[in-house]
Amino acid sequence: MDKVYLERPNVCEILQSHIRNFKKEHPRLSGAQIARRFGVSTSSLNRIENGDIKNPTIEQAVKVLRATCGPETVAEFMRTYYPDIHHGLLDYFKASSERVELEEDVEQYFCDESTYMMMLFATTKRGLSENWVLQEYGRTGHQKFMKLAARGVLVNRDGRFFAGNGDIELSHKSALKVIEHVHKDAFNELTVTGENKNFSTYLEHARVDYKKIGKDISILIEDFRFEIDNILKKANGSGEDLVITSNMIKVIMETK
């Protein structure tokens, strides 16, 4: 077993201290919101806080430190506790994956039924082919995306459009509009073909006291989002297909 691993101080206690300080500085954030900011699952964050994870993984440790401190602290941590780690891996952990909030008018391209699918393709790592835009939407659609590229929202490179900077963070309103379009397309596909090979759906409802169970549902949703994100980002799963996942919880109170 690695000698350095045996001799290093308790990493979990260090992370717990940083998490406590972060919570004091952000008292209005829920545990699920903090986990999302850190880039870890809610269950992992809770287990670190409770000491259930005695030896967090390097990735877990760096994600917590990167969110609560900064690159200098992360670098010092790596030098102290993982001195033998390859510098390339350190650079990988230090790389930022900040989400970018779009201007309101740019979000309209996600809300517009005629352009939302192009925006979804453009904001993936493989980007959106200019030829596909021209074939499907003509020069008018192509001009829209060239304008976004001119503004720096998208990058036009080697005949493809890509997100200009980091992951895109949509507002709740725009996200719901995208979900509406996707569901409409799926419904039309089922109506025309009678098959549902390219989509799956799930619906459940019950009468409950949401104040009592809402937190548990939120934690499960955050864990689902984290795990799905990990699966979608696996290098060996890269391909040409666009996969869309979503979740929505709606609470309806009956009025007398």
Q: What is the DSSP string of 234-245?
A: -GGG--S-----
The alpha-helical segments, DSSP class H, found in the chain are 3-7, 11-25, 31-38, 42-50, 58-68, 71-81, 87-94, 104-111, 116-122, 130-151, 172-193, 210-232
Identify whether residues 74 and 112 lie together within a single domain. Answer: no
Spatial contact of 244 and 120, defined as CB atoms under 8 Å apart:
yes
Spatial contact of 34 and 45, defined as CB atoms under 8 Å apart:
yes
Answering whether pTM is above 0.75, one says no
Identify whether residues 105 and 137 lie together within a single domain. Answer: yes
pLDDT for the residue numbered 6: 44
242 belongs to a structural domain: no
Would you tell me how many other CB atoms lie within 10 Å of the CB of residue 174? 21
Give the type of residue at 38: F
Spatial contact of 216 and 210, defined as CB atoms under 8 Å apart:
no
pLDDT for the residue numbered 41: 81
The ranges of the chain with pLDDT < 70 are 1-9, 83-104, 164-167, 255-256
pLDDT for the residue numbered 85: 58
Mark which of 37, 64, 97 sits at the end of a domain: 97
Identify whether residues 128 and 154 lie together within a single domain. Answer: yes
Identify whether residues 9 and 72 lie together within a single domain. Answer: yes
Measured CA to CA in angstroms, residue 224 lies from 10, 23, 216, 232 at distances of: 29, 23, 12, 12
Mark which of 139, 169, 199 sits at the end of a domain: 169
Which residues form the domain of 142?
100-169
241 belongs to a structural domain: no
Closest CA to 138 of 146, 127, 148: 146
